[in-house]
Amino acid sequence: MTISDNLSRFYINGEWVAPLGGGRLGVENPATEEIVAEVALGTVEDADRAIAAARAAFAGFAATPAPERLALLRRILDAYRDRAEDFAQAFTTEMGAPLAFSREAQVWAGDAHIEATIEAAERFTWEEMRGTTLVMREAIGVAGLITPWNWPMNQIACKVAPAIAAGCTMVLKPSEIAPLSGILFAEIMAAAGVPAGVFNLVNGTGPEVGARLSSHPDIDFVSFTGSTRAGIEVARNAAPTVKRVAQELGGKSPNIILASADLEAAVAGGVEGCFGNSGQSCDAPTRMFVPRAVHSQALEIARAAAEAMVTGDPLADATTLGPVISRTQWDKIQALIEAGIAEGATLVTGGTGRPEGLNRGWFVKPTVFGDVTHDMTIAREEIFGPVLSILPYDSEEEAIIQANDSVYGLAAYVQGAPDHANAVARRLRAGQVQINYPDWDLHAPFGGYRQSGNGREYADWGIHDFTEVKALVGHGGA
């Protein structure tokens, strides 16, 4: 792909500007381990400059009529679609995602979230009368947006689009590990004619730029997606100014296969869901619970599904799994696979090291463990790679109790006869429960319980997070 000239600059107050200081970071293609570009890393001073621009633009943009903000979102969507192939190439370069997956999933996610927000904004209730009180929703203020590397446009779009719809101004800090697509997004915002200061982008690290966004007194709201560890730091930084914080954090999502399920379809679908995006999804169904009576059958189905995955060159048409993002992540996954073996789980397929025939790139063998018990490390910790743990259960009650016994609660999955699956789904403590692998619903609220975060994203749920509620008491009085 053609690397943007803007990687060495930040987008602030409607202009591409040189950093005030800071260093540079190489951008690695994880499939080749080659440095393909360098990105400028911002400092506190760069963040302050962007925050000041957003603050100066806020009053004017917040007063913009909702139909004008809606028209702006439509221009942003058109500009995004004009650069769709550039985004796909960026994802494959910076993440190692197979090119078909980049086009069909990663690019699509950004497009679909902007479109869903437009649909939600068209019918959003900004004001309503309750007796003699007018209840209003108005922009919360200046938003700090901190997004991850694993689904870059999914998370950027589902934060930026509702912020625009609500009338907020913002500073975006995308992941410095995968910054190419973030720079492209700033370019489409400029092309769409976003007013100066409404959208600003500063690349940088979490401890520097991220910490400044989450602590600065002129930031009214922080929307963060990332690890639970980093989310805790964001909350700590935000506490002294009592700013609102919405967080979408880690997960260890259970997938309960009921006795009433089609075992072949349920297990194979669970493998596909777990391994999608090379296992780098916070809501991936990584803990599969199966009735003990069919455990051995489930292992064979999972083995076949995993071994059918093609891991390798992201540019090859046949590839279904690319690498994980970095050496750091690869090392973590290897250690957790080793822990699974050491703690006595049955290694069904996969294991440590790179897949056969691959001697460079951060590729992980598609790995399935069976005979996993609830207390094992691989059943408790988020792995963030193509590793599935299958846990046999003796009773449905046992499966539900163990599924809920986690510090996380982002997503859960249930497979079985509809009435049966719905009854079990009601008992699972997670922000989103998917029943029988439905299509992705971009209007459903997305967010977690417990250490998976707080707040909800997507469509009107996201718009609500970017608003404050004001009551004009007596507005309708005589």
pLDDT of res. 4: 74
Tokens 């975060």: give the residue.
Answer: 453
- Alpha-carbon distance values, 199 to 16, 187, 222, 422 (Å): 12, 11, 14, 42
Catalytic residue among 115, 248, 382, 457: 248
pLDDT of res. 202: 98
- Taking the model in full, what pTM does it have? 0.96
Q: Which of 211, 4, 160 is nearest to 94 (CA)?
A: 4
Q: What is the pLDDT of residues 308-365, one digit of tens each?
A: 999 999 999 999 999 999 999 999 999 999 999 999 999 999 999 999 999 999 999 9
Q: Which of 463, 471, 477, 475 is nearest to 168 (CA)?
A: 463
CATH architecture of 5-249+452-472: 3-Layer(aba) Sandwich (3.40)
Query: Is 248 in the active site?
Result: yes
Q: Which of 79, 76, 92 is nearest to 180 (CA)?
A: 92
Domain 254-442 in the same topology as domain 5-249+452-472? no
The two tokens of residue 33 are: 């381990």
The two tokens of residue 378 are: 């691989």
Q: Which of 6, 4, 52 is nearest to 196 (CA)?
A: 52
* Domain range summary for the chain, segments of one domain joined by +: 5-249+452-472, 254-442
- Per DSSP bridges, beta strands 453-454 and 467-472 are unpaired
To which H or E segment does residue 120 belong? Answer: helix 108-122
Return the CA Rg of the chain. Answer: 23
Catalytic residue among 115, 176, 282, 457: 282
Task: Taking residues 227-246, report their average pLDDT.
Answer: 96
Task: Tell me how far apart the terminal alpha carbons of the chain are, to the nearest angstrom.
Answer: 65
CATH number for the domain whose boundaries are 254-442: 3.40.309.10
pLDDT at 24 over 60: yes
Q: What is the pLDDT of residues 416-452, one digit of tens each?
A: 999 999 999 999 999 999 999 999 999 999 999 999 9
Bridge partners (DSSP) listed for residue 137: 469
